[in-house]
Amino acid sequence: MKFEQIILFTSNFSETLQFYDEILECPIIEIDVDYFKVKIGETTLCFQRSEDNIQPYYHFAIDIPYNYFYEMKQHFQNILFLLMEDGKHSAYCETFVAQSMYFNDPSGNIVELIARASNITDEPEFSRVSEMSFVCNDLTALYPALSTYNVTVYNREPFNPNQLNYIGDSNDESYLLLIPEQRKWLFSDKLSQAYPLIIQTEYFELSYTLDAHWTLEPVTK
């Protein structure tokens, strides 16, 4: 399972466009009045204007090379504000053998830069979006539907609709983060909230709407 395109909504359109273009130096591949698309390695991230009374935010993770983690951490500390948890600007995850750092973009998204031990490259570049949150209080129904696409909880642990679940397949290290509302995000004081989004993989398209409904459809090629 790989994330091909993710459509998010933003209440801070112009500043978010400028941030990904000028601060993160990601290629902007398409711009329109109500949306722009930015290339994050293999993944296309599309930001659409939200309605004025909605200020959505999401959590997602971008893969960076394990062998360049500290070099990239120093770089980002110099150009933006890294978030802290327990007095530290980064964290080591033994489960995934990975180092992570976090920051907020102008839309309020909690962006994680994760360096997995399996990701060794020649250049300090973004590889892809490898984790995308999907906040929903109907996870008990959603997980069985996703299971038909051969995705399961990481390490085949039991699914728990009341906590964070890493959902993926055994082919690569990409994960849907299924989580109910009102759970605190790491490196943030924000709680998980359900907002509209569309997640497109090579197998399926998963979306969430303002009226609190999710849909899951196969991708036809």
Which tens digit of pLDDT belongs to each residue from 157-189? 999 999 999 999 877 899 999 999 999 999 999
State what percent of residues in the chain have pLDDT above 90.
Answer: 89
Q: What is the DSSP letter of 82?
A: B
Instruction: Extract the tokens encoding 125.
Output: 């570049």
Residue with tokens 């102008």: 106
Summarised one tens digit per residue, pLDDT across range 108-141 is 999 999 999 999 999 999 999 999 999 999 999 9
Q: What is the DSSP letter of 85?
A: B
Residue with tokens 């991230």: 45
Q: Structural domain boundaries of the chain?
A: 3-218
pLDDT at res. 212 = 78
pLDDT at res. 211 = 81
Summarised one tens digit per residue, pLDDT across range 182-209 is 999 999 999 999 999 999 999 999 999 9
pLDDT at res. 51 = 80
Amino acid letter at 169? D
Confirm if 113 and 62 have CB atoms less than 8 A apart: yes
Across the range 141-165, mean pLDDT stands at 93
pLDDT at res. 159 = 94
Q: Kindly provide the b/e burial profile for residues 136-168, where b requires at least 16 CB atoms within 10 angstroms of the residue's own CB.
A: beebeebbeebeebebbbeeeeebebeeebbbb
Across the range 15-27, mean pLDDT stands at 97
Rounded to an integer, what distance in angstroms lies between the CA atom of residue 26 and that of residue 28? Answer: 6
Give the predicted TM-score (pTM) of the model: 0.95
Rounded to an integer, what distance in angstroms lies between the CA atom of residue 208 and that of residue 24? Answer: 27
For the domain bounded by 3-218, which CATH number is listed? 3.10.180.10
Across the range 61-74, mean pLDDT stands at 97
| 221 — pLDDT class (breaks 50, 70, 90) | low
pLDDT at res. 54 = 84
